[in-house]
Amino acid sequence: MLEHRKDNETPSGLKIIFFGTPQFAAYILESLVTHGENIVCVVTTAEKEQGRGLKTHPAVLQEKAIELGIPFLAPKKVRDQEFIEQLRSFEADCFCVVAYKILPKEIYAMPRLGTFNVHTSLLPKYRGAAPMHRAILNGETETGITTFLLDEQIDTGGMLLQEKIPIGINETVGELHDELMHLGAKLAIDTLRGLSNGSLHPKMQNASEATPAPKIFPEDCIINFNRPAEDVHNHIRGLSPSPGAVMILPTGERMKIYRTTIDHSDWKLPPADFGSSINKRKLYVGTATMPIEIHELQREGKKKMSAEEFLRGARMVITNKPE
């Protein structure tokens, strides 16, 4: 297993172009700048029309680049030759990619030290677009960050650095995101310094150990309460807070559930049936094995609420849990 290197605090001295889009990337960019790395340009996605008024909104990374005073490019197409020539004009030593589009070889092979990606899994496990979500959905007890050099396939390149962290039994993907964001910044810094001083050498991945992490689609969000409690619990926390696991009520209403724990008592509750404590402060829902307790949810068209708030306004059959 690759280890997280502990290089000294001297900046790499490299000229770096940083690619990314979301908050995860913006945090890592700011960390690199704070640690003295020379980011000569930021590349992010073009502004998109959002909301009812279809107003254009810049990517989070673009806003961070402006805040830090770094030149940025936001191409509509990464294969645009004018954009590629702009990249070449910076004569960068290395490209760093964090949650961005698939890059063609003409781009990732451009810098003399190559292009590395900060990936949120222990490669070769969970190659793909949603490694954090899929790890929790599958009940994994650990994950981590891997930095690796880009090649022609998705998430298959030679690994540079890797570090593990545990996943708590009730941890949500939102909480894991923040932990991995901080770890990703550390490994990005160490990767740049290791590439600069020549101490890092790529290690080939074992393809036989690879697992996929495909994008999350709306149909993936529907909760199947006919599965064991552990699976239902993992499904909910693996999609919380975004995009959110969805329970479809008998009325057809779609309700998102954000936080649960497993109730290990001997009480039995039919799958998808609701139950509550006698004092109406705790809310439960049945699964194929044992109930799970719901702590936070959101009814369609409403704000997030606690179980107690839901129970105060509920107009449905709810079984009381035996004392």
pLDDT of residue 4: 46
Question: What tens digit of pLDDT does each residue of 151-185 get?
Answer: 999 999 999 999 999 999 999 999 999 999 999 99
Q: Is residue 259 part of a domain?
A: yes
Domains identified in the chain, total number: 2
Q: How far apart are CA 232 and CA 252, in angstroms?
A: 20
Q: Which domain holds residue 288?
A: 224-320
Task: Give the single-character DSSP code of 112.
Answer: T
Among all chains, which residue has been given the structure tokens 């690879």?
Answer: 210
Mean local confidence (pLDDT), 234-254: 96
Q: What is the CATH number of the domain that holds 265?
A: 3.10.25.10
pLDDT of residue 223: 98
pLDDT of residue 24: 97
Position 52 pLDDT exceeds 60: no
Residues 278 and 192 in one domain: no
Last residue of a domain, one of 209, 232, 263: 209
Q: Is residue 219 part of a domain?
A: no
Per 3-state DSSP, the chain is made up of helix, strand and coil in percentages (nearest 5) of: 30, 25, 45
Q: Is residue 296 part of a domain?
A: yes
Position 219 pLDDT exceeds 80: yes
Phi then psi for residue 32, to 5 deg, are -60, -45
Q: Is residue 3 part of a domain?
A: no
Q: What is the CATH number of the domain that holds 125?
A: 3.40.50.170
Residues 106 and 254 in one domain: no
Last residue of a domain, one of 209, 233, 253: 209
Closest residue by Cα to residue 212 from 160, 134, 145: 134
Residues 50 and 167 in one domain: yes
Which 3 state secondary structure label does DSSP give 67?
A: helix
pLDDT of residue 7: 46
Chain-wide mean pLDDT for the chain? 94
Last residue of a domain, one of 209, 239, 261: 209
Question: What tens digit of pLDDT does each residue of 32-48 get?
Answer: 999 999 999 999 998 77
Surface-to-core class of residue 219, CB atoms within 10 Å of its CB (0-12 exposed, 13-18 middle, 19+ buried): exposed
